[in-house]
Structure 1
Amino acid sequence: MQTRNTIQRQIVLQAVNQLHNHPTADAIYAFIAAQHPTISKATVYRNLNQLAAQGEILRVPVPTGADHFDFNIKPHYHVRCTKCGGVFDVFMPPVTDLIDRVEDSSGVELHRYEILFEGICSACRKD
């Protein structure tokens, strides 16, 4: 199914591209609503889901909270601070041995994966 490139879709994509802090859908909506008060929360959520499904943005699932969104769709890892809830990029080469081992032990050919590390960020450790 083809998705139209509407003004609302462009606004949502621009917001994700401007917010480099892995925002949640609520944070993206608040950012957009400040500039475009007539756009609905449902429109923002629907467009986020469509953009993620089509690979234009990355959805970062967080098991203990709301999903976050990332403008950077190149393969990389994420780490979440368990204290402040922030999500940060981790750039390092893929762990190919791990992928091979998962495929060998499960019999599943992997097409994508998401690894989320958790810990306490440097800002929270200072507090």
Structure 2
Amino acid sequence: MIKRNTIQCSLVQETVQQLPGHVTADEVYDAIVKDHPNISRATVYRNLNRLSQMGKIRRIEVPGGADRFERWCHPHYHIKCERCGRVFDVDMEYIPHLEEKIKDTHGFELTGHDILFTGICPQCRT
């Protein structure tokens, strides 16, 4: 089945590209609905999922919090502030093939990894 690139999909992608940092689906929706009041939350969520599956944006799964989306699709790590919940990029070299160094005892064929560090951001520490 060929999926067409809709105006809504383009709008969602452009919004993720323009918003700073790592945004939630609600933040993307709130930004879009200001100028496009007829767009539904479901349409935004559906297109965020579609764009992340297509590799046009990156989804960051945040345990205990809302998933985040960002424009940078290259492999890199993130850190989440335990107090304010914001997510930041970690400035360190990505470790390619890390999954090959891990012996899996559950029968998985490891295909990649995504690491989310946690801590307290400088703003929340003060």
Tell me how far 1:98 sits from its aligned partner: 4.1
Does structure 2 retain, via aligned residues, the 8 Å contact 1:79–1:89?
yes
Query: 4+ runs of 1 displaced by more than 2 Å?
Result: 94-101, 104-112
Corresponding residue number in structure 2 for 1:124: 124
Distance in 2 between the 1:59 and 1:18 partners?
A: 16
1:55 Cα offset (Å):
1.0
Let me know the Cα RMSD of the aligned residues.
Answer: 1.7
Q: TM-score, normalized by length of structure 2?
A: 0.90
Which structure shows the higher helix fraction?
1
Could you give the per-residue CA deviations for residues 48-92 of structure 1, whole angstroms, max 9, x where no partner exists?
010011111111001111111111001100100011000001132
Give distance in 2, aligned partners of 1:64 and 1:40: 25
Structure 1 length-normalised TM: 0.89
Structure 2 residues not aligned, in runs of 5+? none
5+ residue gaps, structure 1: none
The question of whether the paired residues in 2 share the 8 Å contact of 1:20 and 1:71 is answered with no
Aligned equivalent of 2:60: 60
Are the equivalent residues in 2 in contact too, given 1:22–1:68 (CA < 8 A)? yes
The number of equivalent residue pairs is: 125
What pairs with 1:90-101 in structure 2 (closer than 5 Å)? 90-96=90-96, 98-101=98-101
CA contact (8 A) 2:99 2:112 kept: no
Partner SS, residue 35 of structure 1: coil
- Separation in 2, partners of 1:26, 1:63: 17
Distance in structure 2 (CA, Å) of the matches to 1:26 and 1:9: 16
Q: Does 1:78 align with 2:83?
A: no
